[in-house]
Structure 1
Amino acid sequence: MALLQTSLIWITGLIALVILIIVAITFVAIYSAPRDRSLFVSVVTVLALTSLLATVCLLPLDIALVSSTTDSTTGTKKKWANPDTVDNILLSLKVVYYLLYSLDALMCLLVIPFAYFWYEEWDIDSTAGSRIRGAFKYTTAFILLLLVLFLVGFFIPVAAQRNGKEHYDLDFFRKLLLENRGERALTFIVGVLLCLGTVLYVVYTAPGLALFPVSLIKSIPAISITSAEEARSALEYNRERQRIIEAKNVGGNGLNTKDRRELEALQREERTLTRKQRLADEGKNKWWLKVRAALRPFKLLLGLLLLGVSALLIASMLITGIDKIKFSKCGARCGYILTDVNIFNPINWVFVKASKVFPVDYVIALLLVLFFFTSTVVGLAFIGIRFLWIVIFKIRSGHTKPQALLMGTTLLTLSVLAINYGLTMFVAPQYSHFGGQKYCTWPMNEPGVVRDCTNHPDHLIPCSAGATGPAAEVCTPTVVSTFINRITLNYPFFGIFTFWAQFAFIGLFIITALTALVRTPKMNFEDQLADEDEEEEESLLGATGNRFAGAWEDVRGSSRHGNNYTINSH
């Protein structure tokens, strides 16, 4: 029975992995620029995306496996879930987590930088050997960085050793203290990457969590703005405006700066509208455009639903943050670890209730982690890759350069670590730690009697880190929660940083959501540039069968004033 149940869960995970590989390949196909596409860069990007998606989607699998060891109706371990079997399940999960975390770290610090410099080394006279040597030369700095992080993590004293007088009364905490130096080094490296990822999580995921649903609500279907008649009307208006401005230059005195800029903008818009009219003529009989317009009400409902989910997520995070500040037994000394949920958390409550009907809670958990990941992609596409106010690369469908694709993948990989932290420690802390596990408190203090709450459901208590007595025999924490708690407990400065960053996340979400609801979000940071070539403009306007439509492609704005159309696309 044990082998059958756990095998089914692992098989489900393997099926999900195949789907994730397809998603990663599709992502690269959608966003990479065909003219600049590199096979090596594409392969590295697909591998990195598969690794990070597998990492973020392993959380529901982790919860499913540990929850399968407990009978939620009796509050006891299942007959097959003896200590050896449970240890084997945890060991297999731990191996997979460490492999994925190690792979993510290697991809971020070695493989992706090597691929980036390898692509940059190309020129007409370059050879494969010269490119490899050049890429390896620049990657050496990252190898040294990884070595330094490993050595620091190997020798740095953990919290328990730094202060010998300090101790924790809870067994749950004592089990998290590190003794193995190799594990300590890996934990330290992941902690450093977690802090970097938290910054990206705040910068990209928070705005994306607001913009994704708002874009679904405010986006306009393609069919409503691509009819030939409307394009022709806008084109006539555009040309009339150009004639009026050109008439001011009849005497040959030249145009003032304002008129010259307006004329240049109208000329760019004319080229756009000309192609728009041709595309509308070609696609006006395509049935799928009409289907997209017909599905608009459902898209609006989905956007409203996701906006409600986002608001509920933020409320749950805020509640957990307050709960940690007020009730954490060790506060900043252990990164604000919370042993019990003391304030009602709506998301946590939904998961606990859903756990009564297998496998509803696991499906919801998978959808939730994918929602966070998709929101991060939306934020990345909206903001772009930038340093402060300087845009380095933009992430655009069909026009993302290989360098941008690699850097974007690195940012997503780091963000995934922070997503795991946010879901486990803030969104649904109790459920992420123990899933739907419950333990029985009936009968109390009667030796030799098996605790069974089949007829006493009122004595079924959800598992928590602070539970004692019979809970120690029944409750099994998830591997990801143990790993994250180990980081924050052994290196409290990581926990303090990631904890307070969640409030910055909440604040940025609220600001972005309020702004986006008032003003339609635009994908591009500038109007269409004069040096955009015709092929790029046509692909931006096309909307279609040659590219897969992702949810984040709808993050765009379009406004109409009379007969004058201003087109904003990505």
Structure 2
Amino acid sequence: MALIQTSLIWVTYAVAIVILLAIAAIFVYLYQTPRDRAASVTTVCIFTTSALLATVLLTPVDIALVSSTSSSRDGRKKDWATPDRVDNIVHTLQIVYYTLYSLDALLCLLVVPFTYFWYEEYDEDATADGTQTVGSRLWGAFKYTIAFIVLVVILFLVGFFVPFAKKAKQDKHLDLDFFKHLLDQNHGERALTFALGLLITIGTIIYVIYTAAGLALLPVTLIKSAPSISTPSLAANTASQLEQNRERQRQLEGRNEGREDGLDARDRRELESLVREERTLIRRERLAAESSGEDRNWLVKSWIKIEAVFRPLKLIGGLLLMIIALFIFTSMLITGIDKAKNSVCKVGCGYILGHINIFQPINWIFVKSSKVFPIDYILFLLLVLFFFSASVVGIATVGIRFLWIVLFKIRKGHTSPQALLMATVMLTLIVLAINYSVVMMVAPQYATFGPQTYCDRASRHPGEQPDCSNHHNAIKHCTELADNPVAKDVCTPSVVSTFINRVTINFPVFGVINFWAQFAFLGIYLIVFIATLFRTPHLDTEQLDADLEEEEEEGLLASTGRRFNATWQDITGRAKKNYGTTNSADGEHSDA
């Protein structure tokens, strides 16, 4: 039975890996420019994105495997879960984690930079006349990558020789076996812990800026993907506006007849403005015709209708994601307050929380769902993809910047290979920060012990497990502060929580920065979210004629109703009659 359960958990993870590979491929092909596609860049980006998502999605597998060793009903260790079997499960997970974390670090610090320089070294003319060979190109890329190799060596050397945190050793709160175990590690593990702790901290800074903004903007992106004016209405209004424009031009040109010095300055400026507006309206008319499927075959027209039918799902999905984002915000804020107030050792161990003191809704949902695998895995997958998608939207909106200077823009179908590689490095660091945030802030109890419980009663005979079958009130959830001989035997912390707690307790500066950065994350999210309700920033995704449309100044909530109306008109193919004029900047109706 135990073998079947373990195999099912790993098979679920394998299926998730295949799904992640497809998601990574779609992400890369969706954003890269078709003209400058390079096989090396595409392969590295897809593989790196898949590896980093596979790392964070190992967490529910970890929790399910360690939780399978005990029964949450009576708080007892299962008969097959001998200490050797439990150690074997933990050791296997450690190998997988260390392999994935090391792979992420090498991809981020060595492989992606080498691929960047490899692409930059390509010279089409030099390759054509034979002056550039594969060997010379390899040496040129390797020459610039040497600096990153030196950086990796320095990181591991510093981590290898840096001393343990003295405050953590002397803290009386850390006398429990759970905390002592975090301080017991060899130099090799410490080197990897330091290197990844530093990468997580750097990633947290990027995560605060980009993911916080993206978490507020992602629901807006889905809602904005539905136009606030339907295609038939856009075509009808554009035709009417174009006719008015040309009529006004004829009136101005009529004034010019018989004049020796031509139009006066005011009329000339108006005529020039009308000519520019006419070009915009002609393009908009063409786009409306293409969007409605005019002069297309029945298959194209049918597909356009189907897209319009499913468009309300985007609207509803956007509103639902907005509610979920607020739910995540609330849960993270509760955990942050709980840690700041009730942490057992505060700054000395990076604000490790001994047990949950305030009810936290997302943590409660995950703990309850983890009793029936793979419900919690599906929820965790959706949560991670939500954070990942928010990070992509944040990077696409803000752009890759150095201070106020925009280095690269990330746009669908217009992202250069260099920008895609830099975005991949940023996403790698962000996902490491997401891993910390989910484990430490979003669902801390679930990520540490899952649904594990222990029987808080003394056994009748030495060596015998206590009986809680008739004393359900004696069954308690496993926590870090459970100083009970039974809890030590039954409760097995997850490998990922052990690793992250090891980072924060051995290098408290990383724990302090990462903890207080979560409040900065919540603050930026709140500012951007409030701003989107009243003034929606210009997004480069799924906008009709994005180069011609001006930034929308109206609030998001005010335009949502019109988007549903526009969807209905696109399905029926009929435009609502409007009496008045249409603003040329945004194509929406306003009464004269």
TM-score tier, shorter chain, comes to 0.7 to 0.9
Structure 2, gaps ≥5 residues long: 257-261, 549-577, 588-592
How many Å separate the matches in 2 of 1:187 and 1:401?
A: 34
User: Which amino acid in 1 is paired with 2:213?
Assistant: P
Q: CA deviation at 1:130?
A: 2.6
How many Å separate the matches in 2 of 1:528 and 1:415?
A: 29
Q: CA deviation at 1:338?
A: 0.7
Q: CA deviation at 1:88?
A: 1.2
Q: Which residue of 1 aligns with 2:528?
A: 512
Structure 1 SS opposite 2:473: helix
Q: Which residue of 2 aligns with 1:367?
A: 382
Q: Residues 52 and 431 of structure 2 are in contact (CA less than 8 Å); yes or no, is this contact kept in structure 1? A: yes
Structure 1, gaps ≥5 residues long: 531-559
Q: 1:456 to 1:118 in 2, by over 3 A?
A: same
Q: 1:163 to 1:499 in 2, by over 3 A?
A: closer
Matched, 1:271 2:275: no
User: Which amino acid in 2 is paired with 1:564?
Assistant: N
Q: CA deviation at 1:463?
A: 1.0
Q: Which residue of 2 aligns with 1:533?
A: none
Q: Which residue of 2 aligns with 1:502?
A: 518
Q: Which residue of 2 aligns with 1:550?
A: none
User: Which amino acid in 1 is paired with 2:208?
Assistant: V
Structure 1 SS opposite 2:79: coil
Moved over 6 A (4+): 252-262
Q: 1:264 to 1:90 in 2, by over 3 A?
A: farther
Give the TM-score taking structure 2 as reference length: 0.83
Matched, 1:171 2:186: no
Q: CA deviation at 1:303?
A: 2.4
Q: 1:20 to 1:491 in 2, by over 3 A?
A: same
Q: 1:278 to 1:529 in 2, by over 3 A?
A: closer
Q: 1:283 to 1:512 in 2, by over 3 A?
A: farther
Q: Which residue of 1 aligns with 2:416?
A: 401
Q: Which residue of 1 aligns with 2:53?
A: 53
Q: Which residue of 1 aligns with 2:555?
A: none
How many Å separate the matches in 2 of 1:452 and 1:277?
A: 75
How many Å separate the matches in 2 of 1:562 and 1:153?
A: 68
State how many pairs are aligned: 536
Q: CA deviation at 1:375?
A: 1.5
How many Å separate the matches in 2 of 1:53 and 1:266?
A: 49
Structure 1 or 2, whichever has the larger Rg, is: 2
1:40-439 equivalences in 2 (<5 Å): 40-123=40-123, 124-126=125-127, 127=132, 128-160=134-166, 165-166=170-171, 168-220=174-226, 225-227=230-232, 230-231=234-235, 233-234=237-238, 237-238=241-242, 240-241=244-245, 244=248, 247=252, 251=262, 264=276, 267-268=279-280, 270-280=282-292, 281-282=294-295, 286-439=301-454
How many Å separate the matches in 1 of 2:269 and 2:175?
A: 74
Q: 1:241 to 1:497 in 2, by over 3 A?
A: farther
Bigger shift: 22-31 or 465-474? 22-31
Bigger shift: 508-517 or 207-216? 207-216
Bigger shift: 245-254 or 392-401? 245-254
Q: Residues 211 and 379 of structure 1 are in contact (CA less than 8 Å); yes or no, is this contact kept in structure 2? A: yes
Q: Which residue of 2 aligns with 1:461?
A: 476
Q: Residues 32 and 400 of structure 1 are in contact (CA less than 8 Å); yes or no, is this contact kept in structure 2? A: yes
How many Å separate the matches in 2 of 1:381 and 1:480?
A: 30
How many Å separate the matches in 2 of 1:260 and 1:504?
A: 49
How many Å separate the matches in 2 of 1:418 and 1:259?
A: 56
How many Å separate the matches in 1 of 2:61 and 2:537?
A: 35
User: Which amino acid in 1 is paired with 2:88?
Assistant: N
Q: 1:388 to 1:284 in 2, by over 3 A?
A: farther
The CA deviation string for residues 282-332 of structure 1, in whole angstroms up to 9 with x for no partner, is 569522332333334433332232222211111111111111111111111
Give the TM-score taking structure 1 as reference length: 0.87
The CA deviation string for residues 454-506 of structure 1, in whole angstroms up to 9 with x for no partner, is 33322221111111211111111111111100001000010010001000000
Structure 1 SS opposite 2:476: strand
Q: Identify which of 553, 576, 582 aligns with 1:563.
A: 582
Q: Residues 213 and 304 of structure 1 are in contact (CA less than 8 Å); yes or no, is this contact kept in structure 2? A: yes
Q: Residues 221 and 293 of structure 1 are in contact (CA less than 8 Å); yes or no, is this contact kept in structure 2? A: no
Q: 1:443 to 1:178 in 2, by over 3 A?
A: closer
Q: Residues 223 and 318 of structure 2 are in contact (CA less than 8 Å); yes or no, is this contact kept in structure 1? A: yes
The CA deviation string for residues 383-442 of structure 1, in whole angstroms up to 9 with x for no partner, is 222222222222222221111111111111100111011011111111111111111123
Bigger shift: 520-529 or 510-519? 520-529
How many Å separate the matches in 2 of 1:423 and 1:510?
A: 19
Q: CA deviation at 1:238?
A: 4.9
Q: Residues 168 and 506 of structure 2 are in contact (CA less than 8 Å); yes or no, is this contact kept in structure 1? A: no
Structure 2 SS opposite 1:465: coil
Matched, 1:12 2:12: yes
How many Å separate the matches in 2 of 1:277 and 1:396?
A: 25
Identity %, equivalent residues: 52
